[in-house]
Structure 1
Amino acid sequence: MGSGGAISFPFLSPAWLGLSLVASLALAGILPGAWRRGWVLALGGCAVASLLALCGVIPWVGDLHLTAYAVAMLGAFVIAYVVALHRARRIGIPERQLIDLFMLGLVGGVVGARAKEVMEHWDEFTRLPDGQPRAWGDALSRAADIDGGGMVWYGGALLAAALMIVYLRGRRIPILAFGDVIVPAMLAGLAIGRLGCFFNGCCFGRPCTLPWAMELPGHPGEHLHPTQLYETVACLALAAATFWWWGRRRSDGEVMLGGILGYAIWRFGNEALRGDTIPTTLFGIPMSTSQLISIWLVAGGLALAVVVVWRRRADPRLRELATRVPGSRHARPAPTGEDNQQEGAEARRPEERS
């Protein structure tokens, strides 16, 4: 199922704009607490998106093309959430907070991944084939057309991680403990997402003569490394390894670091087989931008690993505490309704949360 064989159906007609606006106003005036619960903001966001679509800024009015790429991205998000949910509960993170984190990750992931793609191919988005500048509306519309493919995973992962860290610090959720939960989930989701890249024909490999070389969408007559499938297999292996490691770690942060280092090293090697890389240099050594990011991730991961090991040696109790309660040394009983009410009261008293 490639982008050429997409299923189409009407989506976001003008009636949806009016309906979402009316629903927003109705909820604001009728339902108590609608603003606090975010329902009005969510519907208002739909209304804004519809308005942008009607103005031609976002190409969503008319037929929605349901591509394998879009289905895989949705599947990746669902798989990652399901994998993370069970263990998030075991370390005492309520499902409501996990949903907040995943929404931040979704927004940051999509925006960051697409922004990195646009930056790497700036001229393709801002200039016509003859070199003349595009109209700003056309350029913005092309940049917003994420369903057509073209997103850089590292850009999305870094922005999503930054937003999650801000949330975790604000909620006083241990970052390393949550990292041990989210990294295996992200690896599992990425394995599914790369299948979408395969069907879409993006993130393709170099030409080769190997028996498993494939002709991908958009590359007729070429037999290429299926680097997307290579990464699917690698991410499944890394997800399984980190998932197994989680119950055997000696302190928080080990699983997160293992997954990050493993993926960065793998990605550096897989980039050598890619045929769509953006070149750069490090100390005069040619490499791709993703290889450069992988190097920085390995360097940062090793530095953080030194800190984790030092903490474990400085406090011998960490190993015992990490295994005493299933999941994490920070684990606590699942919150009750009364706990959630107290949590909400605390959130309204920021002066007490020094």
Structure 2
Amino acid sequence: MAGRYRGFVSTAVSTTLLAYLPSPDRGVWYLGPIPLRAYALCIIAGIVVAVYWGERRFVACGGEPGTVVDVAVFAVPFGLVGGRLYHVATDWPTYFGPGGNPLDALKIWQGGLGIWGAIALGAVGAWIGCRRRGVPLPFFADAVAPGILVAQAIGRLGNYFNQELYGGPTALPWGLEIYHRVDPATGLSDPLGGVALDPTPIAIVHPTFLYELIWNLLVAVFIVWADRRFRLGHGRVFALYVAGYTLGRFFIELMRTDPATRVFGDIRINVVVSALVFLGAVAYILIVRKPREELAPADDQQAGTDSAAADDDRPVSDGARDRTP
């Protein structure tokens, strides 16, 4: 009887311990004096995936190989700067309020990128790159849209390592354990750069970063299917990405409990922005009805260029000269 009781207790304890998702004990590792930050690595991995998949989709639609990489040279840095500016602007008390350090606004490696700033300023960089390559921006945006969603999903893993972007307390089996991190040298609290020395969680919360990660992947699959099924074009794939993402972000944002700028009384600013951007994206999808554009394959474009050049070099007949004004 006693052995059966001990077995029951052991099973119950094991079940309890395995019921929740543990957080990483740290988000930064050191290679000698060089810090390896999980957040930065996730952002880089997401960019690589977005460029690779975007390149494949772009070429499959007739685009010239290498174009996505060339445009990314402009779009990525513009997007990073825009994302940081949006984050700082919508969370300015953290940096410029009482107790804030304005220089921390430059520490992008510690987390804090607003997707709307990244998309807005990244689009400016993409427009510059597309003009240099002679590619329509809507065509380019449609090609890279699913990859951007996957990149966002990978970026959310960085929030997991940083123990940020989570919701309220929960007893659900997938609740996320949050640990107290400290600087091992001083023992002072250090949520981003510290280490969790005590494995006892200080809170068990909704992993809203995980909800958004899963939602992003589902929307990426959906827009790829919709693009193939309805042959969307002229920026409608990108608009569908924006509409799908903001739909999920609206509800996930309502679950978050981290500090945020509030507007219209007590509404998180990203809830309002998500609603407005969603309406704009849906309106674009409904208004634009042009058939899907296709770029000629690179070989055909080159052949056409060579043919035109050959025509220019061909001798002009006397009759043709007589008809020239």
Give the alignment's TM-score, normalised by structure 2: 0.72
Secondary structure of the residue that 1:4 maps to in structure 2? coil
Deviation of the 1:125 alpha carbon = 2.4
Determine whether 1:8 maps to 2:30.
yes
* 8 Å Cα contact 1:73/1:192 also seen in 2: yes
- In the alignment, the residues of structure 2 paired with residue 184 and residue 204 of structure 1 have an alpha-carbon distance, to the nearest angstrom, of 25
In the aligned structure 1, how far is the partner of 2:222 from the partner of 2:149? Answer: 10
Distance 1:277 1:259 in 2: 27
Counterpart of 1:68 (choices 38, 41, 56) is: 38
CA distance in 1, matches of 2:73, 2:123: 12
After TM superposition, give the deviation of residue 128 of structure 1 in Å.
Answer: 6.4
Q: Which amino acid aligns with 1:296?
A: L
Please state how far the C-alpha of 1:286 moved relative to its aligned partner: 4.0
Normalised by the size of structure 1, how large is the TM-score?
Answer: 0.66
Instruction: Name the structure 2 match of 1:254.
Output: 236
Residues 1:332 and 2:320 aligned together: no
Q: Which residue of 2 aligns with 1:231?
A: 212
For the structure 1 residues 95 and 203, does the alpha-carbon distance in structure 2 shift closer, same or farther, using more than 3 Å as the test? farther
Q: Distance in 1 between matches of 2:299 and 2:25?
A: 44
Distance in 2 of aligned mates of 1:217 and 1:146:
23
Match of 1:270 among 210, 227, 252: 252
1:36-51 equivalences under 5 Å are none
The match for 2:48 is: 78
C-alpha root-mean-square deviation of aligned residues, in Å?
2.8
Question: 1:92–1:335: 8 Å Cα contact kept in structure 2?
Answer: no
1:56 is matched with none
Q: Any idea what the Cα deviations from partners look like across 1:114-143, whole Å, max 9, x if unmatched? A: 1222223334324663x7xx5xxxx33x22
One of 170, 179, 198 as aligned partner of 1:208: 170
Residues 217 and 173 of structure 1: CA distance in aligned 2, closer, same or farther (over 3 Å): farther
SS at match of 2:267: strand
Which of 1 and 2 has greater Rg? 2
Residue 349 of structure 1 is matched in structure 2 by none
Unmatched runs of 5 consecutive residues or more in structure 1: 11-62, 312-317, 323-328, 343-354
Q: Is 2:140 the counterpart of 1:118?
A: no
- The residue type paired with residue 295 of structure 2 is A
**Unaligned residue ranges in structure 2 (runs of 5+):** 1-22, 181-190, 192-200, 307-325
Match of 1:107 among 70, 77, 84: 77
Distance 1:251 1:6, change over 3 A: closer
- In structure 2, the CA distance between the partners of 1:188 and 1:304, relative to structure 1 (3 Å rule), is same
Alpha-carbon shift at residue 217 of structure 1 (Å): 5.1
Q: Residues of 2 paired with 1:270 and 1:208: CA distance?
A: 15
Deviations, residues 247-300 of structure 1 (Å, cap 9, x unaligned): 22334133222211111111011101111252433xx46422211221221222
Which residue of the partner structure matches residue 135 of structure 2? 173
Q: Give the 4+ runs in structure 1 shifted more than 4 A.
A: 217-220, 335-339
2:148 corresponds to 1:154? no
State the match for 1:25 in structure 2: none
Change beyond 3 A, Cα 1:171–1:85 = closer
The answer for the alignment partner of 2:184 in structure 1 is: none
Q: CA separation in 1, counterparts of 2:87 and 2:179?
A: 19
Q: Distance in 1 between matches of 2:160 and 2:134?
A: 39
**Whole-Å separation in 1 of the counterparts to 2:29 and 2:236:** 43
Letter of the 1:267 partner, please give it: R
Higher-RCO chain (CA-CA 8 Å, sequence separation at least 6): 2
Question: Per-residue CA shift, 1:209-228, capped at 9, x if unaligned?
Answer: 32321123558511111011
Report the equivalent of 2:285: 305
Shift of 1:82: 1.6
- 1:223 is paired with a residue whose SS is strand
Amino acid at match of 1:262: G
1:226-255 CA deviation, whole Å, 9 max, x = no partner?
Answer: 011111111111111112223223341332
1:243 and 2:224 aligned: yes
For 1:180, the aligned partner's letter is D
Once residues 179 and 72 of structure 2 are traced to their aligned partners in structure 1, the CA distance between those partners, rounded to angstroms, is 31
User: Structure 1 residues 293, 4: closer, same or farther in 2, change over 3 A?
Assistant: same
- 3-state DSSP of counterpart to 2:165: coil
Amino acid at match of 1:269: F
Secondary structure at the counterpart of residue 95 of structure 1:
coil
Corresponding residue pairs, total = 264
Q: CA deviation at 1:303?
A: 2.3
The secondary structure found in structure 2 opposite 1:248 is: helix
Q: Which deviations, in whole Å up to 9, do the C-alpha atoms of 1:130-170 show, x marking residues without a partner? A: x7xx5xxxx33x22222222222222122112321343355
Give the helix-richer structure, 1 or 2.
1
| Preserved CA contact (<8 Å) 2:156 2:213 | yes
User: Alignment identity in percent?
Assistant: 28
Residue type of the alignment partner of 2:243: L
